[in-house]
Structure 1
Amino acid sequence: MINRRNFLKNVGLTGSLLTMPAALLNAKSLTAAKTNIDLSAITLRGKVQCEGKGVAGVPVTDGINITLTDKNGLYELVSNATAEFVYISVPAGYAFPEHKSIAAFYKPISKNNYKNDFNLEKLKVDDRKHTFVVWADPQMKSKKDVELLISQSVPDLQAVIKSYPADTLIHGIGCGDLVWDEFELFEDYKHAVEMCGIPFFNVIGNHDMDNEARTDDKSANTFKQQFGPTYYSYNRGELHYIVLDDVFFLGVAKKYIGYITENQLQWLEQDLALVKPGTTIILSLHIPTFTGAGRRSGKNEDELGGTVANRQQLYKMLAPFKVHIMSGHTHFNDNWEQDDIMEHNHGTVCGAWWTGPICGDGTPSGYGVYEVNGSDIKWHYKSTGQAKDRQLRIYPKGRIKDAPDELAVNVWNWDKKWKVEWFEDGVSKGPMEQRVAYDPWAFELYAGPLLPKVRKFVEPVLTDHMFFAKPSPDAKKITVKVTDRFGNVYEETV
């Protein structure tokens, strides 16, 4: 289907060129020369192979069109001189190509060489069972931030990796804002990833863009030099993974909106045409497609830089599939679910920009861990430096200034399929009351113009995952029992 589509596109282009008046052809070439844009056609060729044998049916793309390798693993793709990379969608059953733990599924297109081969390595284990982790917003601004990432986040992830059997397939997704505008720190990020010892696929964030660019088109130049294309796909087991660039630069430093370009959507249409309907898709991007932040703050519309403006068009394209969206950017934890789409907006590796142990909603600094078995996925939020089963924090009576008689609980990875119950002196009191509220500790750490001392712009944010109960005056022991959507039970007592 894809080959036929490319054939028709190329025929259409050739036909229009053949019938176009010579004056127009000359005008276009003069315009191209004046603007320094080379639109000349090129043909990309090569082979995808494993141990010298061609691998058939592998998607190969220039970021514009997609073709499939033939029975001998050969590909041929008509492109143009604006294309920057040729890259593959790594098929299931094969190891992820990597260079020092950075995924290396692409080749820069050189004017001197349009032939690029890709070598794959067959996996020795069944990849239908695998794990992946999502690191959102490492966001390092200084070498001190780097030291915290290396001394806290890296050992924590290393320990998680070691907790699995030695042959477990694990990969990482760096979900954007890998650094905080300081591009020399990309090397430190790469070093941290290499220390973890698993392949990482990376997403561009708003703090990974070139602020000097005059348009969005050139804003990813530095990122591309470091990590390759900003949108692509890969496969593992029964899952199809997609990465998109949803940060649209407005041509003014640090000004952007959440938006997916038409180029990406056209490419995505082709990519999804190769995926069987009903397949589980993991879609990673930096700015969340949607969150509850607007509703919680009483606004009718989301801020343009806070969610993806054209998300409904994306959802329509994803409708035939079961989709989990992985996002970052907000520095809070938020889960929503509708039909066959669920978005996991992650708390951050850096917490509150490396200036406190928790995010603005009280979520500890940390990351998501996702365990895949066939098309079934289970997950948990891993707080840095804390045990896997630490999934809530209790605030005793008196901690909440405007509700001194109430006890509060923050269940940071909560979604609507969780249960939050409480017991007073061993007697069940039923579900706790859910309210939109601030986390008390986040309020103490970050509220006001003088806090926190390091980065004063940090403020607490309203969240849906706060729960409340009013114990009896003579109660001696309160137990909170939280059951997640997978039946795991977490209890804490005050």
Structure 2
Amino acid sequence: MRASLIVLVLALLTVPAHALPPPCSWGQVYEDRNGNGTREAGEPGLPGIKVSNGIQIAVTDARGEYSLDYIDGRTLFIIKPAGYDLAARPDGLPARWRNLQYHAGPALKYGGIPERQPDCTHFGLRPRAAVKDGALDVLLFADSQTSSVTDVDYYWRDIVQPLVGRHGAALGLTLGDVTNDDLSLYPQILRTTMSLQVPWLFIPGNHDLDFDAAGDEDSLRTFRHHLGPDTFAWEEEAATFIGLDDVIYQPGGTPAYFGGLREDQFAFLQAYLPTVRKDRLLVIGVHIPFYEPGARGFRPQDRERLFAMLEDFPHVLLLSGHTHTQRHWYHDASTGWHGMRPLHEYNVGAACGAYWSGIKDAEGIPDTTMADGTPNGYARLRVDAGGAYALSWHPARDADGSGIGLHAPRVLRKGAYPAWGVFANVYMGDAETRVEYRIDDGEWKPMKRVEQPDPRLLVENMRDDMAEVLRGYDRSPEAEASQHLWRGALPTDLAEGEHAVEVRAFDRWQGERSARTSYRLQVAEP
């Protein structure tokens, strides 16, 4: 008998790889009562849970079992339902996915997806107590975009560390460009981000690609190995989140990438959206903004196709990154949206600001103000029951908290023509925001919205131009027209001396915000 067994083993060893039994194409979802991520006796299967390979969606049966077509090189993931938590992987990320790589994949500089014999994929869900009032708080990061371990340290000290142990959020989302082409930094970025101890979801950007991949289909293998699926869904009591890779890579092409969606993503959306509840907020997260024009912008036909699939949802919010500026955009028929009211897209400012550029402060961290005058930082999303939401922007290590950046001349000649003004950069403002100012506690007057560069950044540009040596590793970005800048003329017919300037803005979500500065009038002779 021993001889027969040896013969059988030797025979199996000589069978070519393509003739081996196929990988497991089924799995189970179970109630992980102790939260250890391993199914144990007494932990029952959970019916009605959705699992996907990014194209198809399977729903678990009465025993918690599901079956999907096996597709080598794809990512299998659970769509976490509301009211449950997932166990954490060793790296801190929620245990929500498994990459399927049976045969060797393409050789890539940063590793791609390691080859292995996948086992049957099981997912454990732990029931969670209902959230009081059903509200959800989410941290929103975009473009941490680190090029080196030095940048990772900036990201830690400037963005993450001030939030550790005090953020109160239940979920985190990064909207692409996690790093800046150096994918070897993923483990460090991940370790830093997961110190926030909250489930985190990552969406890829154009700087998260395997640039040595032969085509778009293999360009996110390293991202998927470290950070999870490039297309996913995640459900909470107050909101449903869908993350979509919207970077179409064209190796050797011009441009090298553009914004758009793949056919497999549309297949996933076609299968998933009919199951999504319409009485809560639907959040669609991408990297390249849907409104982005030009050769690298979002493909109009893909945008219109997606928008048509979203028209019946009464509560939708679009989130994007990529621009290293910040603005609100309201889609209408001109961009292919035909819903009952404009579709809101919030283009989130960058955590790295202007790529960690500018002069360093006393802590050794670059100023890194963005080209539209917005300071680097992060956003927060609060979602309430019924689809209502609120957004806010939080500059890194901000002690002010006003959400307004002011610029005014320090001194003007008393009696001069009032040609100089105070500028207010209202970081979360848009065309409908009401902004007012007053001098010395006088009457409130409206400020005028202007689309021009923020003078504060123009000053930095001039200082960089005039410097004989570099003021920092990289100089501040060239100032560009801001979409949230207001101006008010400063009177020169007041008394000689110091005059207080107060600005207030009425934020639709945060209420009245205010900031103060001053200028001085001086008597001068010709």
SS of 1:95's equivalent in the other structure is: strand
Aligned to 2:436: 421
Q: Distance in 2 between matches of 1:340 and 1:118?
A: 38
Alignment of 1:451-470 (within 5 A): 453-455=472-474, 458-470=477-489
CA change 1:337–1:228 in 2 (3 A) is same
* 1:126-178 CA-partner distances (Å, limit 9, x unpaired): 272221111101101112111211222112222641xx4xxxx5211111111
- Structure 2 alignment gaps of length 5 or more: 1-16, 34-42, 103-116, 332-340, 359-366, 413-417, 518-526
1:320 aligned partner, one-letter code: D
Aligned to 2:123: 118
1:120 Cα deviation (Å)?
0.8
Worse-matched range after superposition: 127-136 or 247-256: 247-256
Q: Distance in 2 between matches of 1:262 and 1:123?
A: 35
2:283 aligned partner, one-letter code: I
Q: Distance in 2 between matches of 1:399 and 1:350?
A: 34
* Higher helix fraction (1 or 2): 1
Q: Distance in 2 between matches of 1:419 and 1:74?
A: 55
1:96 Cα deviation (Å)?
3.7
Pair 1:148-2:154 in alignment? yes
1:70 Cα deviation (Å)?
1.8
Pair 1:430-2:445 in alignment? yes
Native 8 Å contact 1:433 1:468 kept in 2: yes
2:423 aligned partner, one-letter code: A
CA change 1:281–1:317 in 2 (3 A) is same
Question: Which one of 38, 48, 56 corresponds to residue 29 of structure 2?
Answer: 48
CA change 1:96–1:420 in 2 (3 A) is farther
What is the root-mean-square deviation of aligned Cα atoms in Å?
Answer: 2.8
1:125 Cα deviation (Å)?
4.0
Aligned to 1:408: 423
Aligned to 1:440: 455
Native 8 Å contact 1:448 1:459 kept in 2: no
1:353 aligned partner, one-letter code: Y
Native 8 Å contact 1:398 1:404 kept in 2: no
Aligned to 1:20: none
1:72 Cα deviation (Å)?
2.6
Q: Distance in 2 between matches of 1:160 and 1:416?
A: 33
SS of 1:193's equivalent in the other structure is: helix
Aligned to 2:56: 65
SS of 1:444's equivalent in the other structure is: helix
Question: Which one of 60, 81, 104 corresponds to residue 71 of structure 2?
Answer: 81
Native 8 Å contact 2:52 2:78 kept in 1: yes
1:458 Cα deviation (Å)?
3.3
Q: Distance in 1 between matches of 2:510 and 2:23?
A: 55
Pair 1:366-2:390 in alignment? no
Q: Distance in 2 between matches of 1:257 and 1:122?
A: 41
Alignment of 1:250-399 (within 5 A): 250-252=250-252, 255-290=256-291, 302-309=293-300, 310-321=302-313, 322-338=315-331, 339=341, 341-356=343-358, 357=367, 358-374=369-385, 375-387=387-399, 389-397=401-409
CA change 1:399–1:155 in 2 (3 A) is farther
1:98 Cα deviation (Å)?
2.9
Aligned to 2:338: none
SS of 1:445's equivalent in the other structure is: helix
SS of 1:336's equivalent in the other structure is: strand
Worse-matched range after superposition: 426-435 or 52-61: 426-435
Native 8 Å contact 2:72 2:101 kept in 1: no
Aligned to 1:204: 204
Q: Distance in 1 between matches of 2:485 and 2:285?
A: 27
Aligned to 1:8: none
Q: Distance in 2 between matches of 1:399 and 1:246?
A: 49
Aligned to 2:8: none
Q: Distance in 1 between matches of 2:506 and 2:258?
A: 37
SS of 1:210's equivalent in the other structure is: coil
SS of 1:146's equivalent in the other structure is: helix
Q: Distance in 2 between matches of 1:399 and 1:71?
A: 76
1:278 Cα deviation (Å)?
4.8
2:402 aligned partner, one-letter code: R
Q: What TM-score do the two structures reach when normalised by structure 2?
A: 0.77
1:313 aligned partner, one-letter code: R
Alignment of 1:77-226 (within 5 A): 77=68, 79-82=69-72, 84-99=74-89, 100-109=91-100, 111=102, 112-113=117-118, 115-126=120-131, 128-158=134-164, 160-161=166-167, 164=168, 170-226=170-226
CA change 1:266–1:452 in 2 (3 A) is farther
Native 8 Å contact 2:421 2:490 kept in 1: yes
Q: Distance in 2 between matches of 1:313 and 1:103?
A: 31
Q: Distance in 2 between matches of 1:448 and 1:268?
A: 50
CA change 1:457–1:82 in 2 (3 A) is farther
SS of 2:503's equivalent in the other structure is: strand
Q: Distance in 2 between matches of 1:240 and 1:415?
A: 26
Aligned to 2:10: none
Native 8 Å contact 1:398 1:405 kept in 2: no
Aligned to 2:11: none
Q: What TM-score do the two structures reach when normalised by structure 1?
A: 0.82
CA change 1:365–1:132 in 2 (3 A) is same
- Structure 1 alignment gaps of length 5 or more: 1-35, 292-301
CA change 1:47–1:417 in 2 (3 A) is farther
2:304 aligned partner, one-letter code: Q
1:185 Cα deviation (Å)?
0.8
CA change 1:446–1:244 in 2 (3 A) is farther
Q: Distance in 2 between matches of 1:394 and 1:208?
A: 35
Question: Which one of 497, 506, 510 corresponds to residue 483 of structure 1?
Answer: 506
1:435 Cα deviation (Å)?
1.1
2:477 aligned partner, one-letter code: V
Native 8 Å contact 2:156 2:192 kept in 1: yes
1:487 Cα deviation (Å)?
5.4
2:160 aligned partner, one-letter code: V
Q: Distance in 2 between matches of 1:463 and 1:201?
A: 30
1:355 aligned partner, one-letter code: S
Q: Distance in 1 between matches of 2:131 and 2:285?
A: 24
